[in-house]
Structure 1
């Protein structure tokens, strides 16, 4: 049995952390769904920037849209939604079979809105309406402004993937925003079934402290944070507040492991997949890591619901000088800045390609 199938049987959903037009047109995504137990996917500005910049799959569409007067963000979101709606349709059978729990794709609002609550809400509602797919999440960062936007967006009935979470506390803030949105919908007589996931980034913890702790602690902080957060997740699902919402028809906001490609060449390339196997969670996996896991990954067991030895391990990091709360804030801020940079690079790429392609003949060459 494939290791991906083992994770699926354990109760963990595997999503692909990638989307390109080539994945769709080549049939590769369909093969991953059929053969590797992939049941959803995520995207972000960096993924789209690399896909558009480094391939010619989008050139014809960019040229057509530029000649029609489209530019900038509007042109990009049309391109992105063409890919993501096609992917959403591929995952629709999974979505239907799981009652809306699985089979999702994700599109991020502009990272330039990370500190703009009202702008984020408006963008989320607009993009979801534009997509016209029930299984498309809108990604909103778990910044202070984002948390306020998440509650309002859920209340508006728009499914949300909360991104850029780094700690148990970040996760709890996102979960509470989700529950407030659902509670308000119930009080208003609206349907309680609005889906959400909470995406906790893992590998960036280990990158941040790799030269600051003893070798015995290298590549262990992200997993410890994950175990601590998983305990909070299980505790929340067992709590009376959530049980009341579940009784009213609400779907659990599933915990999602993001940034799960190993960044340390000395570490196993499937480190975070084997270590974060857990029922009722999602692991969104870079394509390279997915293929490595299929080739030589192992599933040794599930995360303990009580967090296992996470607190003891985190105490060791504290003794080594790691301030988890301060580092979580730094990582979230740097993550938002990194996505904003990718967004600006993406907009520059769209602008330059639009200009060049609009002047070229459809078959190539200058007029």
Structure 2
């Protein structure tokens, strides 16, 4: 039995953190579903930038969009929706069989809106309505301004992937926003099982940010310590009276998702953040190369401890080494938002340049 199947069987969903027209046209995504137990997919501006800039498979769609007067974000979302509808169709049987708990795909609102609540809420509703796809999650960053938009989206029936979370504290705020949205739906007499959510905590960026700044014995351990702390918060929230009341009314849990799980350190194991983050009722979304590596030589030992295990001890050691994890979490979230904005601008530039070349041709 493949390691991917074993991980799936213990209750952790494996999603692939990539999408491209090549994956769809050549049947790669179908293969991942069939052979590697993949049950969902995430995307982001960087992924689409790479997919579109390095392929001519989008040329026909770009040319058609330009001929209709589309440009910029409007043209991008049309391209992205084409891909994600195809992916969503492949995952739809999983979505149906799990009653909406799995089998989802994600599409992000414009990163330019990371600090604008009202525009994020409006755009989330627009994209969700345009896709008309029940197994779509709209990615909204868990920034201070994004949290009210998350609550509002859930209240309005828009399923959400909360992105750019970096700590247990940020995760707890995202969980609060999800439950707030559900409580608003309940007060309005709306069905709670019509919406769902995941909360995405980025892992490897912690270790990349502290490379060369901590003793060798602590290298590549901060991301996992943060994950353990977040998992403890997750278990506590699922056991809380507030959540149990919502669950009794039909609400689906906001599953914890491990993101940024490709190993950045070439000296470390290429499956470090998969084997170390095994836990039931969670998701690990991983790059294709990490998925293939885990399928080839994957293994995992003890599951994440519900009480956080040695997380507190490890975080104390990092603080002694000069790492302020609270300040770093905020910095990583800002840096992540800035990175997605840069990728977004590159993406729109690539599409515009390709459109111009196609027009001339």
Q: Assess if the C-alpha contact under 8 Å between 1:100 and 1:195 holds in 2.
A: yes
> What secondary structure sits across from 2:284 in the alignment?
strand
Distance (whole Å) between structure 1 residues aligned to residue 99 and residue 68 of structure 2: 39
Rounded to whole Å, the distance in 1 between the matches of 2:189 and 2:61 is 43
Q: How does 1:103-114 map to 2 (within 5 A)?
A: 103-114=103-114
SS at 1:303 equivalent: coil
Question: What are the superposed Cα offsets for residues 144-181 of structure 1, whole Å, 9 maximum, x if unpaired?
Answer: 11011101011000000000000000000000000000
Structure 2 equivalent of residue 269 of structure 1: 270
Q: How does 1:70-109 map to 2 (within 5 A)?
A: 70-109=70-109
Distance 2:57 2:312 in 1: 47
Counting matched residue pairs gives 360
Equivalence for 2:204: 203
Map 1:115-194 → 2, pairs under 5 A: 115-193=115-193, 194=195
Confirm or deny: 8 A CA contact 1:5 1:36 kept in the other structure.
yes
Q: Does structure 2 retain, via aligned residues, the 8 Å contact 1:192–1:250?
A: yes
Distance (whole Å) between structure 2 residues aligned to residue 347 and residue 324 of structure 1? 34
Q: In 2, distance between residues paired with 1:57 and 1:295? A: 29
**Inter-partner Cα distance in structure 1 for 2:31 and 2:50:** 22
Match of 1:281 in 2: 282
1:251 Cα deviation after fit: 0.3
Q: CA deviation at 1:301?
A: 2.6
Correspondence 1:291-306 to 2 at 5 A: 291-306=292-307
Return the alpha-carbon distance in structure 2 between the equivalents of residues 358 and 142 of structure 1.
39
User: What corresponds to 1:255 in structure 2?
Assistant: 256
Match runs of 1:41-80 below 5 Å: 41-80=41-80
User: TM-score w.r.t. structure 2 length?
Assistant: 0.99
How far apart, in 2, do the equivalents of 1:146 and 1:263 lie?
28
- Secondary structure of residue in 1 paired with 2:339: helix
Alignment of 1:201-350 (within 5 A): 201-350=202-351
CA RMSD of aligned residues (A): 0.6
What CA distance in whole angstroms lies between the structure 1 residues aligned with 2:95 and 2:178? 20
1:40 aligns with 2:29: no
Question: What residue in structure 2 maps to residue 364 of structure 1?
Answer: none
- In 2: Cα distance, 1:290 partner to 1:64 partner: 34
For 1:25 and 1:132, the matched residues in 2 are separated by 22
- 1:363 is aligned to none
Tell me the distance in 1 between the aligned counterparts of 2:127 and 2:171: 24
Where 1:118 maps in the other structure, the secondary structure is: helix
Moved over 3 A (4+): none
Distance (whole Å) between structure 2 residues aligned to residue 84 and residue 198 of structure 1: 20
Per-residue deviation at 1:64? 1.3
Measured against aligned partners, the alpha-carbon deviations of 1:54-101 in whole angstroms (never above 9, x if no partner) come to 111111111111112111100000000000011000000000000100
Q: What is the match of residue 23 of structure 1?
A: 23
Question: Does structure 2 conserve the Cα–Cα contact (< 8 Å) formed by 1:6 and 1:299?
Answer: no
Deviation of 1:20 after TM superposition, in Å, equals 0.1
If the length of structure 1 is used for normalisation, what is the TM-score? 0.97
Contact 1:200 1:258 in 2 (8 A): yes
Partner-residue secondary structure (3-state), 1:144: coil
After superposition, the C-alpha distances for 1:190-236 in whole angstroms (9 at most, x for unaligned) are 11121000000000000000110000000000000000000000010
2:302 aligned counterpart, secondary structure: coil
Distance 2:82 2:222 in 1: 38
Q: Secondary structure at the match of 1:127?
A: helix
Instruction: Report the secondary structure of 1:276's partner residue.
Output: coil
